[in-house]
Structure 1
């Protein structure tokens, strides 16, 4: 195995002000090339903590990737620290300097002269290989020390991604002889992690030692991943295939997809295959379902739009929900979401519609309709179906769960009413 550690730097990561998406992207890309990420470590903008993290991770991994701390402000201490750590000295790299000037003079169009702190972005340790950053001023840096590779990248996500894709991956493949890592992932819904695990007791016990099964639960869904590692990728795929097929058979009643994809992708594929369209009417989910669907490239082929009818007057005026319905049974009711679906089908001229109305919390509940009560309806011109959820979590998780349940309900409706 070729192992890697990822060190992310920044106080904002430790206090939760910024979510670390960099590590996830790096790990996914490394895994595709055969590098196994052994550790992920987050440290603050503290000199001794960063130094200690480097010392610890080089004992464990062949590759250490560091993100963050390369900006032009006083709390960005990664570059001078690495210079001292590897016994180098800072020098101006003329190519980087020319790039910084180009960005400020031609791209950013900032008034006035370039600040000295921005010009200092062109300073790099003299014992590193500079990785050109086409998307920003801070270059990446590649160090080779004691048989280990250290790679320092900007913390800005789109800059980091550009460097990983354009500079880092091919260099690593030239440096190491990579093993093959093969994953097969399936996606289930309708049963929790424990119930799925009970179904797979004998299957998991009978797996060969080199095949691992992982459970990945999230918002009422469970992904199951089989992994095998070795030398010959084709041989590994052949060995894994019968177990992958058997896994699908065992969870068939709850199988959503035999691929590593989300519900929004599954629904998109169903609609594209049938040439049908859909729209959404959202109250309690506030457009989150629309966001999930439109996050998929090409969704305009089947998704027409959404009416976020948060207020009752919007439900009435745009979706045609009857005032009497809202007065008698309220917005969070089966009757209301059925009328929301009918209004969506008519106003957006789509083949399928999904509607949500509920109480996400923390306030707004009543004894009859406590926080977490959600009604969902899906339908076409011939039929409408509804379900009621009784969620028990905080507002954010309730919204996620309502959206996932709505998408899965729509998926099943499309399959049975296509």
Structure 2
């Protein structure tokens, strides 16, 4: 079954709102064996919506629209769909009861605007919205399905889970199996060259995708069929063969787990306390970890030592080290890591110092030069990295590399 998603709203086209709905819907459809072929965004104009819908139905079996189901004048999706399916708008009594129940449960006076939410195209199947007042709509015509959902993400998600996906499961037997292999330390081109002998031998029914990010690349193996167990077994055999072409340290997860989630899990499982001393990353490593629930179990704290004064006065980096080797050096991050570990009395600590850019570089230490050190029970691990000239990318790459060094340290020593 082929699907297309149409997101409706001027706010999407002017960049005022990011379209997270399409991302969610696409992921859910894919997980349920539906091939999403196109995602489209259109303005709140009847003509544009009609053209987009007609085009989508010409190439897809299922079209899901989001947005434009509110009670205000700029919400025109219901009227437009009624026109497209040549039907009238009527007051749907069951949905009216649903809307009244929802409104009264929140102590809000019922109004004419609320009643308009229960006015739907006569020939649609109304989909109950348990988290809001705008019902979803399900249309069937000439073997094609059109579903219209609210643009409010919470309401859209509940309708997808409670109404749309169960209906799709009854009519679609195809399944899509995805195996995601998260790698680190290689660029997309370098990884592709390394695994080229493996890739050329992939079966014709396997689709391989490269999903690059700063410092890491995810490989996604996809295949379609009706037997998930068989597809999983076959994909795992492919992965086992792939390991012959990559060093063990290059693969950090067999899922969409981020590097910070992987380190988070290792620290938690091993019962290890952790701290960071950050210069060029400005606390970003600490942010990545403390954004995860449960990080308080292992994370003790962080010092953002952006200036040499803080490096010296708080982290006790010697003035001699700073004057001889500079803030961006193996010697400085070594002292930063060792001293933050002692100061916070943790098992493992990481320190980062570098030149994020766009200025501040020299011939000896150009923009993108980063030094990272990990202090642990048996000593210190330090490494120099050379990233690019883009500040934001350098910060992300430095944090990613630091977390990977922590990961490898834990695996090797704990």
Report TM bin, short chain. Answer: 0.7 to 0.9
Tell me the equivalent position of 2:287.
Answer: 291
Tell me the equivalent position of 1:129.
Answer: 125
Tell me the equivalent position of 1:225.
Answer: 220
Q: Does the Cα contact within 8 Å between 1:13 and 1:42 map onto a contact in 2?
A: yes
Aligned with residue 392 of structure 1, among 385, 388, 393: 388
Matched, 1:248 2:248: no
The CA deviation at 1:169 is 1.0
| Whole-Å separation in 2 of the counterparts to 1:127 and 1:237 | 41
Tell me the equivalent position of 1:206.
Answer: 201
Tell me the equivalent position of 1:56.
Answer: 55
Deviations 1:5-58 (A, max 9, x none): 111222333333333222222222112221121222222333222211111111
5 Å-filtered alignment, 1:207-356, equals 207-253=202-248, 254-310=250-306, 315=311, 318-321=314-317, 331-356=327-352
Aligned with residue 173 of structure 2, among 170, 175, 178: 178
Moved more, 204-213 or 251-260: 251-260
The CA deviation at 1:95 is 5.1
Q: Does the Cα contact within 8 Å between 1:9 and 1:68 map onto a contact in 2?
A: yes
Q: Does the Cα contact within 8 Å between 2:33 and 2:172 map onto a contact in 1?
A: no
Structure 1 gaps, min length 5: none
Q: Does the Cα contact within 8 Å between 2:91 and 2:118 map onto a contact in 1?
A: yes
Tell me the equivalent position of 1:197.
Answer: 192
> Structure 1 residues 203, 390: CA separation in 2 closer, same or farther (over 3 Å shift)?
closer
Tell me the equivalent position of 1:383.
Answer: 379
Tell me the equivalent position of 1:46.
Answer: 45
| Whole-Å separation in 2 of the counterparts to 1:73 and 1:329 | 65
> Structure 1 residues 76, 355: CA separation in 2 closer, same or farther (over 3 Å shift)?
farther
The CA deviation at 1:64 is 0.8
Q: Does the Cα contact within 8 Å between 1:379 and 1:413 map onto a contact in 2?
A: no
The CA deviation at 1:293 is 2.2
Moved more, 178-187 or 313-322: 313-322
Tell me the equivalent position of 1:15.
Answer: 14
Matched, 1:120 2:116: yes
| Whole-Å separation in 1 of the counterparts to 2:287 and 2:118 | 40
Tell me the equivalent position of 1:374.
Answer: 370
Q: Does the Cα contact within 8 Å between 2:358 and 2:389 map onto a contact in 1?
A: no
Aligned length: 413
Structure 2 gaps, min length 5: none
Kindly report the root-mean-square deviation, in angstroms, between the aligned alpha carbons of the 2 structures: 2.9
> Structure 1 residues 237, 78: CA separation in 2 closer, same or farther (over 3 Å shift)?
same
| Whole-Å separation in 1 of the counterparts to 2:254 and 2:120 | 47
Tell me the equivalent position of 1:68.
Answer: 67
Q: Does the Cα contact within 8 Å between 1:318 and 1:343 map onto a contact in 2?
A: no
Tell me the equivalent position of 2:151.
Answer: 155
| Whole-Å separation in 1 of the counterparts to 2:80 and 2:234 | 46
| Whole-Å separation in 2 of the counterparts to 1:374 and 1:147 | 58
